[in-house]
Structures are given as C-alpha cells and as structure tokens.
Chains A and B, each alone.
Chain A
Amino acid sequence: MATDHELRLRERLARLRSVSLLGGARLSTELDKLERQLARLAEETTDEDIWRSVELARHQDRPYTLDYVERLLDDWTEFHGDRGRADDHAVVAGLGQFDGRTVAVIGQQKGRDIKDRIDRNFGSAHPEGYRKAMRTMELADRHGFPLITLVDTPGAYPGVAAEQHGQGGAIARSHALMARLDVPVVACVIGEGGSGGASALALADRVLMQENAIYTVISPEGCAAILWRDAGEARKAAAAFKPDAAHCLELGVIDAIVPEPGGGAHTDHDAAARLLGEAVHEALEELQPMAADERKRRRRGRFRSIGVYA
C-alpha cells in the first residue's frame, strides 16, 4: 500500500513534470531528486501491493462513472445512441457543468446489482459504444467543451456481433479522433483500464490514474492463461506486468496519481469524487491557456514518445 509520503512525492513529481513541460526546464534538479526518491520507493511496491490494486480496482462498491458524474457535475444531461445502430449502455456520454463551465464526459459504466451489471454488459462496450463516444467527442470539439473521460472496463466486448460491427476499427478510430481534438482532454483511469477498449478513451492531454486503479495490456487472467497456460496464475501474471498506478507513473504512461480516501475509493464515494474533481480541475487549469494547435501537438508527442527500446 502506498504511503501518504509516497503519494505526496508522486503528486509533486507529476506537477513538476507537467510544469517543466509547459514552461522552462529550471526545475530539473528538484525533479531529479524526486525521481530518485521515487525509484527507491517503487522497489518497495510488492507483488501483494499489486494484487491488492487489482482487487480494489474491481471492488463491487468502487465508485463508477455515474457516481462521479452525480457528485462532480451540475445539469448532467446524458446522450443515448450512436446514431446508427444502438445505444450501448456500457458507455455513458453527455454534457454537464464542471467548475461553472460546460464539459463533455465520456466513460465506461459498470453495474452494481446483477440486473444492472447485465444491462451495462459488465462495462464491456460494443463498437456502438465507441461510436457514441465519438459522436460526443465531435460535438464537444465543435462547441469548444473540454472533454473528460473516465476509464473503467475489463476490455472491449469479445462477441460475434461486436466483431461483425467492427470492434477493431471502432477502437482504432476512437483513438484517432482523440488525437485530432482541438479541445483540452483529461482522462482518468478510475478502475480497470483493460486493453484497447480502455486506451480508446484515453488518448488525452493529461492521463490520470487513481491510486488503486489498474491499467493493463490484457487481464491478469488472460495473460496467465496464455503465458502460464493456467488462468489461476493471475497473481503471478499481475506481478510480472505491473499494472498498478505507481509503475504506470514510472513508465511515463500516466501523468499523475489521483489519491483515494484511506482504504480505497469504495470506502467513501464523496471523498473519492472530491479528490478526483480536484485533480481534473488542476489538469484543466493547466491545459486551458494553451493554443489548440500546440496542445494537440503536445498530446500526440506525449504518446509518440512512449516506449522503451534500444
């Protein structure tokens, strides 16, 4: 479990990183100092800590997208349908007032009881869901509304109809549209960030991640089934590919960790929403003054520089 000390360090680091990105590089000494401290702390992230994140990210009482929408937005107005085929309940999209200005919010939505979970398809979207997201992105871009995305999905739905309706292409185009937006975009992984179905909503100027969220290339069970030939080895798989927020921050995949109330977001939805709201507010404040072209150039550059190779 990350200590308060570590969280404060990470937040400061994240802030310094973004400041030096925006302004000069005068802060590099302090940045180096913080990075060193963090590197030391990261060594102490144990396999148990990682698995705890996996469990908390999937906790049935964890706040979902609409729990945050309800607490952070006024005048929430949800949109329905992809204007072609269907309304995918695994994705919610709409407009509301955040900090006194209109914003667009898109997120995956899970259900809490069995009936609701089935209705939301466990947060696994069909292509129709990504198309609903895309029409909302276009609307936001046309009207100049900042976009906030909340990522919480085990993955895009693997079904026959989903494939026939173009799941791969829809996910690709959702990424592409986010790379073209002129408005500021802030994404936050609030639970499970599962594979392409998650990153399709996270090609943002600032990518945040809650303390106990996970961001993965494949589910720990899926990875274990393929590499260990045994889905029961999920703990080993998770320990090997390190989907926790601390590691994502170190790898440069996310820009900042959003703290959760002690014990996890599920213990106090109001506090979790307040902390998320503050982080999103801060990110938007940084992004808003930038020229649209410059913001877009940096957004693409941010992702084009991710990777470790020789």
Chain B
Amino acid sequence: MSSPRIDVSIEHRGAPGPPGKRHPNTCPKCESHYRDDELDANLWVCPQCGHHFPMSARARIASLADPDSFVEEAADVRSEDPLHFFDLRPYAERLAEAELKTGLGEAMVIGQASIEATPCELAVMDFAFMGGSMGSAVGEKFSRACDGAAERGIPLVSVAASGGARMQEGILALMQLPKTVAAVEDLKDAGGAIVSVLTHPTTGGVLASFASLGDVVIAEPNALMSFAGPRVVQQTTREKLPDDFGLSESNFRFGHLDAVLARSELKPYVARLLRLFSHNGD
C-alpha cells in the first residue's frame, strides 16, 4: 500500500516537510526499513539509529497504559463544519478522509487508564488526523479529560502532537486556546496534577495553550516544538536558523522543559511522577 500524503492543510507551520516518496516505515535518518510489527515491538523507534517515528494515538496509549486498563471516553465527539469551509476541498471531505485513514473520530483520544497501577486520565493526540490540528472537537475532548481527572481526583497525562489550531474552523479553532486553558485552570483548582508530554511536532496553538501548562513538561528527543515553525521564522526574519531551532534539546537548554526522554524511558518516568503526585511514592 502506498503511503497517504501527509495533509498540510492546517496551521502547519512547524510540521516536518512532506515525506516525498519515502515509505512511512523507512527511517528518514538511516534509511533502514521495517515492517509494522517490527516497529510496533520497538515502540516505533528505529532499532538501528534511535530515530523516533510518529506514533499513532492507539499505539501511544498501548505503550503507556497498563494492559487492558484503558477505557475510552467521549469517543463519539465529532467535528462539525460551522463555517461550511471550502478551500480546494470541503472541510467535511477532509474530515471523512482523516477518519478513514486513522480509524479515529478526531485528532485526540481521551479516557481513563492506569500506568504502573496508578490511575490517571489520558489525553493523547494523533498527528495523522489532519496534522493533529485542534478544532472544537479536540478542545471539547481535552476539556472533558480535565473534568474526568478532577472528578476522580486523579492526574491528567496529555501527549501532544499537533501542527496547531485547525484553520478550517476559523476563529472557533483559536478559541480552543482559551477553552483548554480554562479547563486546565479548573483542574488545577480542583487539586489535579498535569503531566504534559510533547512529541514531534507540537507547534502553534497547542504549544501556546494546554501543552505548555503541565505541572511537569517533558518531551521526546529531536521533536520540534515552536510557536512559529522554522519556515515562517525563516521567511519573516531572513536569518539563518540555528541547526537545532525549536528542537527538544534546544528547548531544554533554554529552560522550557523538565526532561527530554527517549520513548523507552517515558512510561517509567511518567509512572514515577504519578506516584509522587498521588502521594504513593513509597
């Protein structure tokens, strides 16, 4: 099966360029090629060079949650097309195509889970669904995840992967920034903890809202996280960008992250945090 082209029709400033003809299972760094099951068995990390492939929301949840512990919530929330947005193709068509391609109803999956036996609420994004862009449905799901965590008195773990706000929903997409932030503040007032994991790429409106507001913010290696993407910055400033522009390592150096962790270290690290926040550290 040939790879579907990555959809660039979102506020997509920071996302990686189109993959060209390369197969999605071919490592862009060392050109090694893998079957799905080989990558799946290795957390979608290249066994040769350690490159982190994009991970679907389902695979991410499987990698973090204890087996069979995940119970999905708000699975029926779907985007509408309030502006009847039509660029080169209708928004409704793009949505249907994204659902077919990913098997997901939206770019975020939420639900209850436990991680190393500590219960938590999960909110996980999927970049394959319209570039992980945030519209009303993603905002609503995140908002409900915050409420779920608050009601049960458990921490929220969010995993971001997003090109930013979803342009096809216009100003309503921008309003998901204040919406998700208000949900975070309600959760924080209820005493809830938030662990925010940033994966490649986390840019634009998602970085500028809930993803930056974790009590602890961590990222995967070599992931792009910037408000404006490299191309926009290049075009605006006409400067040569540093080689590590916007990458996790650079963000860590400038003090915006608590840790940069390889995917294999993620679950134990998050589990430890959850124990600490749940006062069960022993």
Contact = CB atoms under 8 A, between A and B. Distances in A.
Interface in A207-250: 215-218, 222-223, 226-228, 236-237, 240-243, 247-248
Q: Quick one: which of B8, B77, B167, B236 has the most chain A CB within 10 A?
A: B167
Contacts of B178: 175, 179, 199, 202-203, 303, 306
Interface in B200-234: 203-205, 207-213, 225-228, 232-233
B209 A241 contact: no
Contacts of A167: 208, 226-228
B83 A241 contact: yes
B183 interface: yes
B259 interface: no
Interface residues of B, number: 71
B56 to A, nearest CB: 22
Interface string B1-26: 00000001111110000000000000
A223 B174 contact: no
B77 A309 contact: yes
A44 B62 CA distance: 51
Contact of A176 (B13, B135, B185): B185
Contacts of B166: 217
A181 to B, nearest CB: 11
Contact of B139 (A179, A215, A307): A307
Q: Quick one: which of B171, B232, B233, B237 has the most chain A CB within 10 A?
A: B171
Nearest to A179: B185
A262 interface: no
A182 to B, nearest CB: 13
B256 interface: yes
A180 B185 contact: yes
Q: Quick one: which of A164, A180, A215 has the most chain B CB within 10 A?
A: A164
A173 interface: yes
Given A223-B167, A226-B12, A240-B83, A163 B137 contact: no
A21 interface: no
A120 B53 CA distance: 42
B232 to A, nearest CB: 5
B175 A226 contact: no
Contacts of A172: 177, 181, 207-213
A304 interface: yes
A196 to B, nearest CB: 4
B167 A227 contact: yes
Contacts of A202: 178
Given A223-B167, A226-B8, A243-B170, A309 B80 contact: yes
Contact of A175 (B203, B207, B209, B211): B209
B217 to A, nearest CB: 8
B186 interface: yes
Interface stretch (B119-127, B240-248, B271-279): B240-248
A163 B170 contact: no
Interface residues of A toward B: which range? 35 or more
A199 B213 contact: no
A159 interface: yes
A237 B143 CA distance: 29
A251 B82 contact: yes
A162 B78 contact: no
A249 B279 CA distance: 46
Contacts of A216: 170-171, 174
Interface in A160-218: 160, 162-169, 171-173, 175-176, 179-180, 195-196, 198-200, 202-203, 215-218
B165 A166 contact: no
A195 B143 CA distance: 20
A300 interface: yes
B87 interface: yes
Contact of B250 (A164, A203, A218, A306): A164
B269 interface: no
A217 to B, nearest CB: 4
A34 interface: no
A175 B171 CA distance: 16
A105 interface: no
A160 B239 contact: yes
Given A240-B83, A240-B87, A306-B172, 10 more contacts: A156-B227, A172-B211, A240-B86, A242-B171, A300-B182, A301-B182, A303-B181, A303-B182, A304-B143, A310-B79
In the A-B complex, the 3 residue pairs with the smallest Cβ-Cβ separation, listed nearest first, are A158-B228, A307-B136, A168-B207
Interface of B: 8-13, 76-80, 82-83, 85-88, 135-137, 139-140, 143, 165-179, 181-186, 203-205, 207-213, 225-228, 232-233, 236-237, 239, 241-242, 245-246, 250, 254-256
6 contacts: A158-B232, A159-B236, A163-B228, A202-B178, A241-B170, A243-B170
